Structure 1
């Protein structure tokens, strides 16, 4: 067990942030999966800006790395452009 008040508080804060970050990271992964599974060009085109916005926000808040966000955005954009 922690010996200082500040370390007890730090443990609480870390646990809270971890849950918060895991929730948003999982939501992002599901959104990317849903977009990649889409075969309809119109639906994918409509979904693309929302997913890109989500990725940008998570990268800005350091929940995911900015280069990971860029790679995911690039991949989903290629997928949407390749749809007929």
Structure 2
């Protein structure tokens, strides 16, 4: 167990942040999964801006890396363009 009050507080803060980050990362993964499962081009095109916004926000606050966000957005755009 931690010996200092500040260490105990740091542990509390880190746990809270970890849970917060896990929630948003999982939400993002589910959104990407849902978009990839869509076979209708119009529906996927309508869904894409919200997923893109989510990826940008998560990259901005370092929940995911900015290059990962860029790669996901690129791959999703390619996927949407291939839908017929």
Residue of structure 2 equivalent to 1:75 = 75
Q: Given the two structures, how large is their TM-score scaled by the length of structure 1? A: 0.99
CA distance in 2, matches of 1:64, 1:32: 14
CA distance in 1, matches of 2:66, 2:4: 35
CA distance in 1, matches of 2:37, 2:2: 46
Cα offset, 1:43, TM superposition: 0.2
1:1-84 correspondence runs (5 A): 1-84=1-84
Q: Count how many residue pairs are aligned between Structure 1 and Structure 2.
A: 84
Q: Specify every segment of 5 or more residues in structure 1 that has no aligned partner in the other structure, as ranges.
A: none
Cα offset, 1:50, TM superposition: 0.4
Q: Specify every segment of 5 or more residues in structure 2 that has no aligned partner in the other structure, as ranges.
A: none
Q: Given the two structures, how large is their TM-score scaled by the length of structure 2? A: 0.99
CA RMSD in angstroms comes to 0.3
Cα offset, 1:53, TM superposition: 0.2
1:1-45 deviation per Cα after TM superposition (whole angstroms, max 9, x unaligned): 000000000000000000000000000000000000100000000
Runs of 4+ in 1 over 4 A off after TM superposition: none
